[in-house]
Amino acid sequence: MEKIAYLFPGQGSQYIGMGKELYNNYQECREVFDEADERLNIKLSVMMFEGSKENLDRTEYTQPAIVAMSIAAYKALSRHGIKPYVTAGLSLGEYSSLTVSGVFTLSQVIPLVQKRGRFMQDAVPEGKGKMCAILGLSEDKVKEACDKAKSIGLVEPANYNCPGQIVIAGEVKAVDEAANIAKVLGALRCVSLPVSAPFHTKMLASAADNLRIELDKLTLGEMMIPVISNVTADYINSVAEVKSLLYEQVMSSVLWEQTIRRMTADGVRHFVEIGPGRTLSGFVKKIDRSLNTYHVEDETSLRETVSALEGIC
């Protein structure tokens, strides 16, 4: 039997209308969105299906919306009996991954990620931090650029997405300086990202502390599907590790390329991106073009993915 990995996207993949087709077509998906609405005491589903982009892009709504959409898409795929060997999610997507694994319930994770969004947004005053994607430069050179800019302020790698795409984050002036140095070192482009906080840096320490308080209130379930952590790019060995890893994740680099390479080292050749967009599929292909990618976010992609996977598992 071929090994399949389920991948869950993070913040930035959201769009108006995401999940609406799944909501209309499947009872299991309706139940996910209805529970999310109930847990947050707002019509999150209406915001997702027909609201304004401005509202959906607010971090406190973006995070539960993406998780709800991802879990709904997973439910639709699960109807066909396809079983993953391993799962992982990029940043916020790790919460979706842990939910399908059985560690979180839906009623736990939806309010948790809403609070996570608020904590992350409030941790750094607007205009003090930024994120920038460095394209076409090696990991060592990106680290060198950050090290040279540290005299100005905090800046560090935040996301190792794939070869030639590393996101840096930190204080505005330090990030800008690191980007300028990166260009001198040979970067093809440096693209400022439309986010208002320097995610996955030490500047979010207060968000991590607040998140830990919320995590400590929760009783976690057993992990039924193996999950690879953003922080370590290795398997989470026990549920006891989950809370500390999620605490660290807020302030630590996301090791996404390393996560995919860990999966391929274990023989995974098929990757299903579950949730809005196809960003992670693009990263996988840039890591290794021979890998097979699929996605599930609407009826058409669901049918195509099921048809492809039924022939190999």
pLDDT digit string (tens) for 203-242? 999 999 999 999 999 999 999 999 999 999 999 999 999 9
Residues marked as catalytic: 91, 200
User: Per-residue confidence of the chain (313 residues) as pLDDT tens digits?
Assistant: 899 999 999 999 999 999 999 999 999 999 999 999 999 999 999 999 999 999 999 999 999 999 999 999 999 999 999 999 999 999 999 999 999 999 999 999 999 999 999 999 999 998 999 999 999 999 999 999 999 999 999 999 999 999 999 999 999 999 999 999 999 999 999 999 988 789 999 999 999 999 999 999 999 999 999 999 999 999 999 999 999 999 999 999 999 999 999 999 999 999 999 999 999 999 999 999 999 999 999 999 999 999 999 878 6
pLDDT at site 248: 98
pLDDT at site 190: 98
> How crowded is the C-beta side of 228, counted as CA atoms within 13 Å?
27
Q: What is the pLDDT of residues 18-54, one digit of tens each?
A: 999 999 999 999 999 999 999 999 999 999 999 999 9
pLDDT at site 312: 81
Long-range CB pairs of 298-302 (<8 Å, 24+ gap) are 298/21, 298/22, 299/21, 299/22, 299/25, 302/22, 302/73, 302/76, 302/77
pLDDT at site 310: 87
Domain ranges of the chain: 3-123+203-310, 129-196
Does residue 56 contact residue 48 with C-beta atoms inside 8 Å? yes
pLDDT at site 194: 84
The model's pTM: 0.97
Instruction: Pull the structure tokens for residue 205.
Output: 């320490």
- Domain 129-196: CATH superfamily, name plus number: Malonyl-CoA ACP transacylase, ACP-binding (3.30.70.250)
Cα distance between residue 189 and residue 21, in whole Å: 37
pLDDT at site 231: 99
Cα distance between residue 21 and residue 220, in whole Å: 31
Q: Please give the helix or strand (H or E) that residue 167 lies within, else none.
A: strand 165-171
Cα distance between residue 29 and residue 275, in whole Å: 12
Q: Residue 169 forms beta bridges with which residues?
A: 131, 156
Cα distance between residue 230 and residue 92, in whole Å: 10
CATH domain 3-123+203-310 topology: Malonyl-Coenzyme A Acyl Carrier Protein; domain 2 (3.40.366)
Phi-psi domain of 41 (left: phi exceeds 0; alpha: psi -120 through 50; beta: other):
left
Report the interhelical angle of 59-78 vs 93-101 (nearest 10°): 40
3-state secondary structure of 105: coil
Cα distance between residue 276 and residue 66, in whole Å: 7
Q: Residue 135 forms beta bridges with which residues?
A: 165, 189
